Amino acid sequence: MSPKTDKIDEFSKELELKIERGVIGWVNNDQWFNWLRNTAARWVLAVLTLAVLYGFGLFAWINEGVYGYLYPVTIFVVVVLQKLSVRFVFDDDSVIDEYQHERRNRAYRRAYKRIGLAVSLVVVLLLARSADLRHISFSAQSAFWPLPNGTFSAQFSVEQLVIGLEFLIGLFALQKYLSWGMRGERN
């Protein structure tokens, strides 16, 4: 790459960063958004997040069609509302102070624990579902591998797979906001 291209790249990156920080700074400091930040709003947002992620997700999974396209849009809207509610603490280290930093780290710890628990639960359920525990037998051959072989068969449409993927992305994206807690800001 030529030095000229490098300069243009550098300039566009700086401009992008400036615009991003400018927008985040404006939204963070504008009191108009405070209605999203009190405890009542945090509760409403948590219910809305769960309803969209699980409720609408299941609905879209069953009905497919246009709901499959609406699902990521609704997740996106909820993510934006959550970002506004917590003042973008998960997006930019430079705009948060030590209180927000500490609370953010606690939210990350909780989120990882919850996701770990959920993944473990799903794996155990799948194993339990796939292994026919009534017919476990140990033979000389299987003595070295005493766990039964699990089989799990399922048939999903492409749309359902996409919705499943969207659900996973939403689950990971929103978990930290749910773990942030219900205590909102007070004046």
Partner 1 sequence: MSRKPRQEEERVANRIELLRTQAGLSRQELADQVGVHYQTIGYLERGEYSPSLVLALKIAAALGATVDEVFSLDKGE
- Min separation Cβ 24 and partner 1, Å: 13
SS3 146: coil
End-to-end CA distance of the chain: 52
Quick one: which of 98, 137, 139, 152 contacts partner 1 (CB under 8 A)?
98
Instruction: Select 4 or 186, whichever has its Cβ closest to partner 1.
Output: 186
On the CB side of 93, CA atoms within 13 Å amount to 1
- Told to check if 94 binds partner 1 by CB under 8 A, we report no
Residue 34 DSSP one-character state: G
Instruction: Select 6 or 102, whichever has its Cβ closest to partner 1.
Output: 102
- Told to check if 97 binds partner 1 by CB under 8 A, we report yes
- Min separation Cβ 85 and partner 1, Å: 13
Contact range with partner 1 by CB under 8 A, out of 13-21, 97-105, 126-134, 135-143? 97-105
- Told to check if 38 binds partner 1 by CB under 8 A, we report no
Q: Which of 100, 99, 95 is nearest to 29 (CA)?
A: 95
- Told to check if 185 binds partner 1 by CB under 8 A, we report yes
Give the span between the Cα atoms of 146 and 140, in whole angstroms: 10
Residues of span 52-91 touching partner 1 by CB under 8 A = 87
SS3 175: helix
- Told to check if 186 binds partner 1 by CB under 8 A, we report yes
Strand residue runs (E) in 87-152: none
Q: How far is CA 60 from the centre of its chain?
A: 18
Give the span between the Cα atoms of 159 and 128, in whole angstroms: 27
Residue 147 DSSP one-character state: S
- Contact pattern from residue 123 through residue 162 relative to partner 1, giving x for each residue in contact according to CB under 8 A and a dash for the rest: ----------------------------------------
Binding site for partner 1 (CB under 8 A): 87, 96-100, 102, 185-187
